[in-house]
Amino acid sequence: MTLLADDVAPRSRLARVGLLAVVFVCAACGLVYELALVSLGSYLIGNTATQASIVLAVMVFAMGVGSLAAKPLQQQAVTAFAAIELALALLGGLSVLALYAAFAYLSLYTQALVVVAFVLGLLIGAEIPLLMVLLQRIRKQEAGSAVADLFAADYIGALIGGLCFPFVLLPVFGQLRGAIVVGLVNAIAGCFLVFVMFRKSLTRTGFAVLSVAAVAVIAVLVAALVYADRFEVTARQAMYRDPIVAAQRTQYQDIVITERRIGSDRDTRLYLNGDLQFASSDEYRYHEALVHPAMADAVARISESGSTSPSVLVLGGGDGLALREVLRYPDIRPTLVELDRAMIHLARTDPRLLGLNRNSMNDPRATIVTADAFTWLRQQHERYDVIIVDMPDADESATAKLYSTEFYSLVKAHSAPGGRIVVQSGSPYFAPKSYWCIGSTLRSAGLAVTPYHVDVPSFGDWGFFLADEGTPPKLHLRAPGPMRFLSEAELSAAAVFPLDRQPLEMPPSTLMDPRILRYAQGEWATY
């Protein structure tokens, strides 16, 4: 009897360790599914805070429902757990693919997100009660001790899954393939528990049915993994009018370049996270209006004083088009700060962008810095005669901080005495609250502003703010050569706003209260 007891105890401990290892893996997979939904939403829709709130709230609620729903399944815990894990692996693995398809083809992303998050939460919530039953079968122990073991494995697994998602899965596999890989891991872990550790608890029929289901789920996930890249290309193209000629998903954004022929010309367009950044047919209107009014006063002042050429800082503008306009001035040595290294590489190597930016990103006069503009400004002390803020619109949480009082205060601190600051500010026609909010935010940072707007056909009516620390600066030109669009007359007209688009008194946007984000998302949602 002693020998038998000694023999059983190690086996019991080994089985317990195996089950807790499965709990660890399942917890890691479950958290990755949550993070994948949040991450996808931030890419496709923006507003990470809203996406996270929807996913977490729905999933946590559904997990509670799933825990209750698992009560009647405890009599058939092994079979129920196997079915739940296979369903969870299939849905979790294909969740990103399904939601991307809903966004690209059906425009039903938010509705589909709620459904997917609820079902995933339901399945995840049913795991723990069933695993508790299986743990008790392996080794009789007090409920408190069993719960402690189970939740310890669960929480540690969640930690590993949470760290693996941004540092391993996204960089190595990307969004689509990463979720599918996790689904495969989830399926294999569930199969190990059922078919290896609890094989004797299954009837012959049950074993056969679950075996077929497991093979089918794994086969579907493997097929999805093989065809994921092809699907992504097809789905991405469905979202754009023109053929995609280059695409890359980085850790910061989704970069897409499209191109179509218009007679003998080509219209090249750059999109970041689905938002149009420029069209080659009229980008010169935007960039001439952005750069040259800010350069005029600095060039004139420095020329009159006989000092060196103005120092210029470009924040954003990784496509190199604003830098192209800056480099038209002689003896300029500008600095450009861009967050995404991949965007810089494209601007330096893609023949379409090189033709448009005139190789500005490879110009030896320019210093290109890869950094977050907010962080970089906090670490620098140099002052500049001209600062050009050419950031994407503030319709995402990540960019809203670049339209805050705190950010503009940093920009102001780096402006030389008498220097000029210009900020691209969106459309005063389509998004007037957002536009005038930027003006009030600049004023809250201690800057005097002059609003102006021009017509850019690809964007519509588009606005800017010219700012300095004294009185509102005047708009005029000191062009380094012939302009394609901008003139003194055009610039004078740009300062006039029609009666139906008069200035609005808006509160400023701050880091703690990013009003600009709410305004931008609300106003652009109707277009």
Residues in binding site for S-methyl-5'-thioadenosine: 253, 338, 372-373
Using CA atoms, how far apart are residues 42 and 358, in angstroms rounded to an integer?
33
Among 316, 376, 365, smallest CA distance to 343 is for 316
Amino acid (one-letter) located at 30: G
Supply the DSSP string of 120-142, one letter for each residue. HHHHHHHHHHHHHHHHHHHS---
Backbone φ, ψ for residue 470 (5° rounding): -100, -120
Among 250, 248, 267, smallest CA distance to 259 is for 267
CB 70 within 8 A of CB 133: no
SS (H, E, C) 510-522: CCCCCHHHHHHHH
How far, in Å, are 273, 302, 505, 515 from residue 435 at the CA level?
21, 31, 11, 12
Using CA atoms, how far apart are residues 241 and 225, in angstroms rounded to an integer?
27
Secondary structure class of 398 (helix, strand, coil): helix
Indicate the Cα dihedral angle 465, 374, 52, 80, nearest 10°.
150
What is the strand order of the sheet 448-456 is part of?
Answer: 367-370, 335-338, 312-316, 384-390, 415-424, 460-468, 448-456
Q: Say which of 390, 395, 461, 468 is annotated catalytic.
A: 390
Which residues neighbour 5 within 8 Å (Cβ) at sequence distance 6 or greater?
A: none
Locate tokens 């609300």: which residue? 522
Instruction: Determine whether 116 is exposed, middle or buried from the number of CB atoms within 10 Å of its CB (0-12, 13-18, 19+).
Output: buried
CB 269 within 8 A of CB 276: yes
Bridge-based pairing state of the strands 254-262 and 367-370: unpaired
Binding residues for spermidine: 287, 319
The dihedral region occupied by 312, where left means phi > 0, alpha psi between -120 and 50, and beta the remainder, is beta
CB 277 within 8 A of CB 290: no
Q: Which two tokens stand for residue 458?
A: 């690809």
The rounded radius of gyration (Å) of the Cα atoms in the chain is 29
- Report which DSSP code applies to 509: P
Among 469, 485, 330, 508, smallest CA distance to 387 is for 469
Bridge-based pairing state of the strands 265-272 and 448-456: unpaired
Active-site residue, 395 included: no
What is the strand order of the sheet 244-249 is part of?
Answer: 244-249, 254-262, 265-272, 275-279
For the annotated catalytic residues, the residue numbers are: 390
